[in-house]
Amino acid sequence: MIQSFHAWALEQNDRRIVYASGAEATMFAETCAFGVTRHRLPAWKVVLPIGGHAELLRPGQPMVTAAGLIVPPQFAHTCAATSPYVALFVDSWLLPPTPEPIPLDAAEVRRLVAALGAADEGGPGTAADLASGYLELRTLTQAPPPLDPRVAHAVRLSSHPEPDITSIAAEVGLSAPRLRALVRQTVGIPLTRLRQWARLRAAIAELPGTTAAMAAATAGFADQAHLARTARGLVGRTPASLHATALNRS
């Protein structure tokens, strides 16, 4: 869970990307169709096309097509939106577990987009109401099961890139190996992957105002290549595609 709010928007010609992150979710909104390569995200992903549909493909399975999709954490897949879209990313413990993607109909997509505060077909802006979007999402998925208080505190701390796992474990009164085992058992995702996701969000939040190399260093990555590999593995796109220089080339 991210404790502070970060937002930015990049615009060039007819393409606009909006990023916002807060306690309930992280959001991308883009005013063009876009697809991502195969990835496995340690968080929920909610794809909300505006006027088009979402497409999901996994190895050996037929394509899933729907007005919108809720994709569970750690689900390996490729994904595309055929129109401008909003993508919400919600921490794994904030929704109840399910093994398969959940299709959304057009009315559900409209309700979710409206809850975020979208004023027009361009989607929500930097003042997106992530709390309302998350609450509307909860009406579709119900409440998540309660977490062990030690795990709940540890994953909240892990959503920041700074504390290391040993420090987090000490704060909740556990050894680092015991904390890793408890998080994996309770949340279903290794703590190291949750930390990678936290660092990636921190890097993306810095992108408009700095270079990818500096964003990588600020977020705790070894170098820019490490950041790019992590981004491809977790979200299926590189940080370069979210940078102002990428918009200038489009």
Helix (H) or strand (E) holding 134: helix 130-141
Token pair listed for 225 = 């290549």
Q: Which phi and psi angles does 70 have, rounded to 5°?
A: -110, 120
Structure confidence at residue 121 (pLDDT): 63
Confirm whether pTM is higher than 0.95.
no
Per-residue pLDDT at 246 exceeds 60: no
Is it the case that residue 194 has pLDDT exceeding 80? yes
Those residues whose C-beta lies under 8 Å from the C-beta of residue 169, and which sit 6 or more positions away, are 154, 175, 176, 178, 179
Q: How large is the greatest C-alpha to C-alpha distance in the chain, in angstroms?
A: 53
pLDDT value for 122: 63
Please indicate whether residue 247 or residue 125 has the higher confidence score (pLDDT). 125
Give the pLDDT band of residue 119 (cuts 50, 70, 90).
low
Long-range contacts of 220-224 (CB under 8 A, 24+ apart): 220/161, 220/162
